[in-house]
């Protein structure tokens, strides 16, 4: 019921009511067009299409000074009416929830978007001409009502989405470029946060316009809203973002908490941008960082590799914020951290995982966790050992991304936790030698550059293992040279022996 009343409100305001001062002829004409665009009776496409044509004729016939009548008074003027019309045009051209997933419905949206875009180009052409003939405050005040709705329309239709077409994207791109030129902004970021310190920017205005469509009940009514919010948010870097934290954090959490994977990923990308561009002190205030952590941590139970990748990257940037206040004072054992908790869960998921895409995602991020924990990785040494050995045994496709990342993890592990490595000498040596033999004997499954990369990484691991075990590896490998006939395996073993003896080792 509230939506119906809000749709009818502009038509009541635009009409000349008893006691209201008489409005201009252009204002009355715009009021009638607004009524036709927003009235429930004008739902058929032909009626609203005719309103679009009439509006185009009105704008074309209007003089530049007429577009800003009333902008310097407290009365409702033409610029404010144009702002209402611009909002209605954006709603008319926006995709709706009912059309989501229907190609035919979306093709109609693209056509509407192109038509409205041409109308906005015509309107902004008039405004650009007015810049040269009217006093500066006049046209700037008039533009204030139009900038927000036109920006939202342009972003909605310039992104590559199902409801856009190449033509509608080109027109929307022209609309956005012209808007930036008229507002004298060199970039979208400058348009949003201001070109200089004295300029306020329009990010607050855009967020206020999007706010009614970004609550729990309404955010799915228009499929474009979440993309406009996400794209706009990611245009604003630090130090301008922290002042808007109360406006941007709730919608980002709401989108990331959806049941659909694509929405989860979109929300996580928004949260990641917030983590990177808001100071740690602001994130720690009111326990916001903990809220972010728990929202992200829960996504790790979803077996979607692209979501896991986005979440792990965000968590790795969130850990320094969460652990900012932790200081080890010596004596007692160091407290476990959020990084420990996440790594423990990752290793639990990695051991039984058989899906290649998920295995690659986990392996791709494992080195970063070892680097983050450093010597404290010893807490997870047993599980890491099992994961490393099991992943080295399994062929991972032509690119061998998982095995290469696992070898990188092993190298880091031996560098950080070398005192604990010697007792695992036999197990690790067997795994590395088996890998070298498998790769050397692989006839054609793996490209030669990838084979060479695997052999080099495995050789580096053997060299580190020899250092950690005080030269034991060298003695054990000497016996293999006497019986091994494979030239690639022999070459790897000789490199290990040369480096162990102090000779220079050239990877090339």
pLDDT tens profile 351-383:
999 999 999 999 999 999 999 999 999 999 999
| pLDDT band (50, 70, 90) for residue 26 | confident
- DSSP structure class, residue 77: -
**Averaged pLDDT, 393-418:** 94
Tokens of 348: 């639990």
**Averaged pLDDT, 414-435:** 92
pLDDT of residue 299: 97
**Averaged pLDDT, 9-37:** 58
CA dihedral 420, 426, 432, 438 (to 10 degrees): -160
Tokens of 269: 């990308």
**Averaged pLDDT, 425-452:** 89
Q: How far is CA 419 from CA 38, 347, 414, 465, in A?
A: 74, 22, 8, 11
| pLDDT surpassing 80 at residue 115 | yes
Closest among 232, 130, 230, 225 to 176, alpha carbons compared: 232
**Averaged pLDDT, 399-403:** 94
For the chain, give the number of residues: 508
pLDDT of residue 486: 77
Among 120-124, 177-181, 198-202, the minimum mean pLDDT is found in 198-202
| pLDDT surpassing 60 at residue 71 | no
pLDDT of residue 44: 53
pLDDT of residue 30: 79
Q: Which of 25-34, 66-75, 116-125, 168-177 has the highest mean pLDDT?
A: 168-177
d(CA 193, CA 189): 6
Output Rg (C-alpha) for the chain, integer angstroms.
31
3-state SS record for 331-383 = CCCCCCCHHHHHHHHHHHHHCCCCCHHHHHHHHHHHHHHHHHHHHHHHHHHHH
| pLDDT surpassing 50 at residue 264 | yes
Q: Which residue has the higher pLDDT, 91 or 335?
A: 91
d(CA 134, CA 148): 22
pLDDT of residue 15: 41
CA dihedral 388, 393, 395, 401 (to 10 degrees): 20
**CA angle (42, 43, 47) in 5-degree steps:** 50
| pLDDT surpassing 90 at residue 138 | no
| pLDDT surpassing 80 at residue 270 | yes
Is 236 within 8 Å of 193 (Cβ atoms)? yes
pLDDT of residue 41: 55
Hey, how many other C-beta atoms are within 10 angstroms of the C-beta on 447? 12
Q: Which residue has the higher pLDDT, 239 or 134?
A: 239
Q: Which of 10-14, 52-56, 137-141, 307-311 has the highest mean pLDDT?
A: 307-311
| pLDDT surpassing 50 at residue 3 | no
Q: Which residue has the higher pLDDT, 45 or 184?
A: 184
Alpha-helix residue ranges (DSSP H) falling in 77-135? 78-93, 103-130
Identify whether 239 is preceded by a cis peptide bond (ω within 30 of 0). yes
What angle separates helix 288-299 from helix 245-256, to the nearest 10 degrees? 20
In b/e form, how buried is each residue of 228-262, taking b as 16+ CB within 10 angstroms? bbbbbbbbbeeeebeebbebbbebbbbbbebeeee
For the chain, percent of residues with pLDDT exceeding 70: 84
Closest among 249, 313, 234, 316 to 283, alpha carbons compared: 249
Q: Which residue has the higher pLDDT, 483 or 291?
A: 291
pLDDT of residue 12: 39
Closest among 295, 311, 158, 309 to 231, alpha carbons compared: 158
Is 256 within 8 Å of 263 (Cβ atoms)? yes
What angle separates helix 425-441 from helix 472-483, to the nearest 10 degrees? 40
Tokens of 351: 């051991």
**Mean pLDDT taken over the chain:** 85
Alpha-helix residue ranges (DSSP H) falling in 183-279? 188-193, 203-210, 225-233, 245-256, 261-277
Q: What is the pLDDT of residues 202-259, one digit of tens each?
A: 999 999 999 999 999 999 999 999 999 999 999 999 999 999 999 999 999 999 999 9
Tokens of 307: 């979501």
């Amino acid at each position: 019921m509230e939506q119906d009343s809000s749709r009818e409100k502009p038509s009541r305001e635009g009409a000349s009511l008893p006691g209201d001062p008489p409005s201009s002829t252009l204002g009355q004409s715009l009021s009638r067009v607004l009524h036709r665009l927003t009235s429930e009776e004008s739902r058929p496409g032909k009626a609203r299409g005719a309103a679009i044509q009439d509006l185009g004729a009105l704008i074309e016939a209007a003089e530049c000074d007429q577009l800003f009548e009333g902008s310097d008074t407290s009365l409702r003027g033409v610029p404010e009416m144009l702002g209402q019309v611009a909002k209605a045009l954006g709603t008319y051209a926006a995709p709706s929830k009912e059309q989501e997933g229907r190609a035919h419905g979306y093709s109609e949206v693209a056509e509407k978007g192109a038509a409205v875009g041409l109308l906005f180009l015509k309107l902004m052409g008039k405004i650009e001409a007015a810049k040269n003939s009217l006093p500066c405050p006049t046209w700037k005040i008039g533009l204030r009502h139009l900038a927000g709705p036109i920006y939202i329309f342009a972003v909605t239709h310039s992104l590559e989405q199902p409801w856009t077409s190449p033509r509608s994207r080109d027109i929307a791109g022209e609309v956005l470029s012209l808007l930036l030129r008229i507002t004298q902004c060199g970039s979208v970021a400058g348009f949003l946060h201001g070109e200089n310190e004295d300029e306020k920017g329009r990010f607050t205005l855009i967020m206020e316009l999007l706010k009614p469509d970004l609550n729990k009940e309404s955010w799915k009514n228009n499929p474009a809203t979440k993309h406009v919010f996400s794209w706009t948010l990611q245009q604003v870097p630090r130090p301008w973002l922290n002042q808007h934290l109360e406006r941007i954090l709730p919608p980002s959490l709401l989108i990331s908490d959806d049941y659909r994977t694509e929405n989860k990923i979109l929300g996580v990308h928004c949260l990641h941008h917030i983590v990177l561009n808001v100071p740690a002190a602001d994130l720690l205030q009111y326990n916001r960082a903990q809220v972010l952590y728990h929202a992200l941590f829960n996504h790790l139970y979803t077996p979607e590799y692209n979501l896991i990748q986005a979440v792990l990257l965000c968590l790795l940037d969130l850990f320094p914020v969460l652990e900012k206040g932790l200081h080890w004072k010596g004596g007692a054992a160091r407290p476990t951290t959020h990084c420990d908790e996440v790594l423990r869960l990752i290793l639990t998921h990695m051991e039984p995982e058989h899906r290649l895409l998920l295995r690659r995602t986990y392996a791709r991020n494992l080195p970063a966790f070892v680097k983050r924990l450093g010597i404290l990785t010893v807490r997870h040494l047993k599980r890491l050992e099992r994961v490393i050995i099991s992943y080295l045994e399994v062929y991972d496709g032509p690119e061998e991304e998982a095995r290469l990342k696992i070898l990188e993890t092993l190298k880091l592990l031996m560098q950080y936790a070398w005192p604990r490595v010697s007792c695992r000498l036999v197990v690790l040596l067997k795994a590395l030698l088996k890998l070298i033999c498998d790769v050397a004997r692989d006839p054609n499954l793996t490209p030669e550059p990838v084979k060479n990369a695997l052999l080099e990484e495995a050789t580096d691991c053997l060299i580190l293992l020899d250092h950690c075990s005080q030269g034991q590896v060298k003695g054990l490998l000497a016996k293999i040279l006497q019986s091994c006939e494979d030239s690639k395996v022999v070459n790897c073993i000789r490199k290990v022996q040369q480096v162990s003896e102090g000779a220079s080792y050239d990877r090339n």
